[in-house]
Amino acid sequence: MIIVLRPDVTEDQINHIIERVKKLGLKPHISKGVQRTIIGVIGPEDLLRITPLEVFPGVEKVMPVLAPYKLVSREFKSEDSVIDLGKGIKIGAKKIVVMAGPCAIESYPMLYGIAQKVKEAGAVVLRGGAFKPRTSPYSFQGLGEEGLKYLKDIAEKLNLITVTEVMDPRDVELVAQYADILQIGARNMQNFNLLKEVGATRKPILLKRGMSSTIKEWLMSAEYILSEGNFNVILCERGIRTFEDFTRNTLDISSIPIVEQLSHLPVIVDPSHAAGKWGLVAPLSKAALAAGADGLIVEVHSNPEEALSDGNQSLLPERFEELMQQLRELSKALGREL
């Protein structure tokens, strides 16, 4: 932590700050320059973070030196985390993991049909929402537990892993009974009670980036889950909000190599929600792999015209299959496998 003092700071004010730093058991280093005096405090910054040093008289600004997260960081664990999803599927290693399926589970036959298609095309995880966070109270809100049953049953028949969103801390136990991977949606990235609740399970957690979250905040939300003892976190970039209005969100492709640099956790991309338009899913999927993503989560629907949610961004099964073939070529050129 660097405490930059105002040009008109007094000796008394400096002493007051130093006393406080020492009271916290930390060691201050003072450097007096021509234009500014600064106090460096190199040590456990947590203690300082909760002290509002900026309100101390004479302080101009406070600049943290260390990242606020620990367990998720490369410094804590230098080698990549490889997470076991079950049925022999691992994420975070050489093999790229593709998750696919409809936005919402609408009926048993619909889900079954799509599941078959995405499995044939090479997806190993089936996605499908039973609890849907919808901007409008008048939109389809999902089938609830009924949908979870369909998901589990179909996945068992087809030997697929499942991922589905949990929106409410009260539902974590229920969803965990049916699904292999619990998804935290973008709108809940900072629903801290929900993070603690899924942190208390040992399920793999797919943590989507909030649509206005910095990478640092995203990693802090992952830290919530790890701090509860659950290290099975998969990060998922799904676009951030900017002024650009042609796409629903702006896929922050740089976040992939940055996360790989800062954290040992695997990171995947959701090209469907990032773009909001199916025509962009293929180029964004390729870009994601090229940037180093460990996987993708793609919306596929056999009849987008009748989809109850997000039909505009869903690929038809045949387009998904074509994309998978292209991605397989690409993966090889990138030294990965699919």
Give the residue with the Cβ less far from a second copy, 85 or 327: 327
Count of residues that bind a second copy according to CB under 8 A? 108
Determine if 215 is a binding residue for a second copy (CB under 8 A): yes
Is the CB of residue 302 less than 8 Å from the CB of residue 319?
Answer: no
Q: CA dihedral in degrees (112, 118, 119, 123; nearest 10)?
A: -130
Site for a second copy in 97-126 (CB under 8 A): none
Q: Exposed (0-12), middle (13-18) or buried (19+): which is 244, by Cβ within 10 Å?
A: exposed
Could you tell me if 258 and 102 are in contact, meaning their C-beta atoms sit under 8 angstroms apart? no
In the list 11, 25, 79, 138, the residue contacting a second copy (rule: CB under 8 A) is 138
Site string for a second copy, 23-52 (x = CB under 8 A): ----x-x-xxxxxxxx-x-xxx-x--xxxx
Residues 310 and 73: their CA atoms lie apart, in Å, by 34
In the complex, the smallest distance separating the C-beta of residue 218 from a second copy, rounded to whole angstroms, is 10
**Part of the chain binding a second copy (CB under 8 A), chosen from 81-89, 112-120, 133-141, 155-163:** 133-141
Identify which of 228, 227, 186 has the alpha carbon closest to the alpha carbon of residue 206.
186
308 contacts a second copy (rule: CB under 8 A):
yes
Q: Which of residues 41-100 bind a second copy (CB under 8 A)?
A: 42-44, 46, 49-52, 54-56, 63, 65-66, 68, 75
Using CA atoms, how far residue 185 sits from 110, 117, 236, 281, in Å, is: 23, 25, 9, 19
Task: Please give the residues from 255 up to 294 whose contact with a second copy meets the rule CB under 8 A.
Answer: 255-258, 261, 274-275, 277-280, 283-284, 286-292
Spatial CB neighbours of 332, under 8 Å, sequence gap ≥ 6: none
Q: Note whether 178 binds a second copy by CB under 8 A.
A: no
Instruction: Considering only the stretches 83-91, 145-153, 156-164, 215-223, report the one whose residues sit in contact with a second copy under the rule CB under 8 A.
Output: 215-223
Spatial separation of the C-alpha atoms in residues 207 and 166, rounded to whole Å = 11
